[in-house]
Amino acid sequence: DQQVKQNSPSLSVQEGRISILNCDYTNSMFDYFLWYKKYPAEGPTFLISISSIKDKNEDGRFTVFLNKSAKHLSLHIVPSQPGDSAVYFCAATEEFSDSWGKLQFGAGTQVVVTP
Amino acid sequence: EPEVTQTPSHQVTQMGQEVILRCVPISNHLYFYWYRQILGQKVEFLVSFYNNEISEKSEIFDDQFSVERPDGSNFTLKIRSTKLEDSAMYFCASSSGVGGTQYFGPGTRLLVL
């Protein structure tokens, strides 16, 4: 059941540059999307979210873009810092349905920020 | 900053034994969840819980699993008779509203031998 896909298992980026992480989804009923960051042996840490009524949300160095027609979202991190090295998960849910609490996760993208 | 806590951080058990994983959600949150991540696989939804009732459960959450909010602060996941395939990281999460952002605990690593 691959409703949320992150097709890039890894991404290497230089410190100071932009990291762009991509996520695709198949369920058109998804209306709330989140990005989480995860370090080894820790739980997912919430980064940023976006509702389907918007196409962009920004919080500091993190910006999420949503393209509903393409069923695609992306996370931009600018500038990338060494502490950003982690696994990034895209997640989606149907906020106003009976499945409101069920987050569907992508497989994750391992980001490595190099000096 | 308030956070979700989980105990124990690691648990090793024999197949067929019962385990209880404990979580303390963020104090003013009303919606609670369990997820698991088998090594090398995606994070998977198990169950959501609100107002002392299960709101939704996945097909993984069979009769061997149960959840409880025994008091005003704890939220537990019980696996009655563990199987080898239950070995995974189990994450508890909570949110303040319906469909709102879920905040995750650090996880319990369960190993069934």
Q: What is the mean pLDDT of residues A5-10?
A: 94
Distances from the Cα of A81 to the Cα of A73, B63, B81, B97, angstroms? 22, 45, 45, 32
Q: Model confidence over B34-83: pLDDT tens digits?
A: 999 999 899 999 999 998 999 999 999 999 999 999 887 899 999 999 99
Comparison of pLDDT for A67 and B28, the residue scoring more? A67
* Contact at CB, B103 and A100, closer than 8 angstroms: no
Cα Dmax for chain B: 38
Q: What is the mean pLDDT of residues A72-88?
A: 97
Joined together, the tokens standing for residue A51 give: 């509702």
Band of pLDDT at residue A1, cut at 50, 70 and 90:
low
- The phi and psi torsions of A104 (rounded to 5 degrees) equal -105, 125
Q: What's the whole-number average pLDDT of chain B?
A: 94
Q: Which residue among A45, A46, A101 sits closest to B55, beta carbon to beta carbon?
A: A101
CA dist., res. B21 & res. A9, Å (int): 30
Using a CB-CB cut-off of 8 Å, the residues of chain B touching A96 are 99
CA dist., res. A35 & res. A21, Å (int): 10
Q: Say if A57 is an interface residue toward chain B (CB within 8 Å).
A: no
Query: Is a pLDDT exceeding 90 seen at residue A104?
Result: yes
Q: Which residue of B has its CA nearest to A33?
A: B101
- CA-CA-CA-CA dihedral for A88, A93, A95, A98, to nearest 10: -150
Q: What is the mean pLDDT of residues A17-41?
A: 95
Band of pLDDT at residue B108, cut at 50, 70 and 90:
very high
> Within the 21-40 window of chain A, which residues sit less than 8 Å (CB to CB) from chain B?
32, 34, 36
Note the pLDDT of residue B105: 97
